[in-house]
């Protein structure tokens, strides 16, 4: 990851994450390689790397980047792994996971969010993610 090419708010976030103990460089690189602004409503895009959970519609939010980084680091995802994500939302977490795992299967109960996530993931060329509409709370 070339630091000079990254936006200042993202560099600051990465520094804070390292200081807070998120030391897995693969996770930090996956986070930095995933344009969070693509996963946000347009009015929030300029604030994409603020460590804030933004509303994405349908009563849902996109998780703070620090939460995504910590969860992903704790999962210890390996390149050979298949990952199940319950609650696709915007697709941002799935996109980060897709850069680390062999395959990501993610479920979303709101069809419009699933459709939007599929489009974003395809735009990024992340072909190792499947988004399925279903209610993950049902097991």
- Residues assigned a catalytic role: 63
Residue 6, burial from CB neighbour count under 10 angstroms (0-12, 13-18, 19+): middle
C-alpha 67/C-alpha 20 separation (Å) is: 12
Phi and psi angles of residue 111, each rounded to the nearest 5 degrees, phi first: -55, -40
Task: Assess contact for 34 and 124: CB atoms under 8 A.
Answer: yes
**46: helix, strand or coil:** helix
């Amino acid at each position: 990851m070339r630091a000079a090419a990254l936006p200042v708010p993202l560099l600051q976030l990465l520094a804070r994450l390292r200081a807070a103990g998120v030391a897995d460089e693969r996770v930090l690189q996956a986070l930095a390689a995933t344009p969070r602004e693509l996963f946000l409503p347009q009015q929030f895009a300029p604030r994409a790397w603020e460590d804030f959970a933004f509303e994405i519609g349908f009563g849902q939010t996109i998780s703070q980047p620090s939460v995504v980084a910590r969860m992903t680091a704790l999962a210890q995802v390996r390149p050979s792994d298949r990952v199940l994500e319950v609650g696709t939302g915007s697709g941002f977490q799935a996109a980060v996971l897709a850069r680390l795992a062999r395959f990501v299967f993610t479920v979303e109960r709101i069809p419009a969010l699933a459709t939007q996530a599929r489009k974003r993931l395809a735009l990024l060329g992340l072909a190792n993610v499947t988004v399925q509409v279903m209610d993950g709370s049902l097991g």
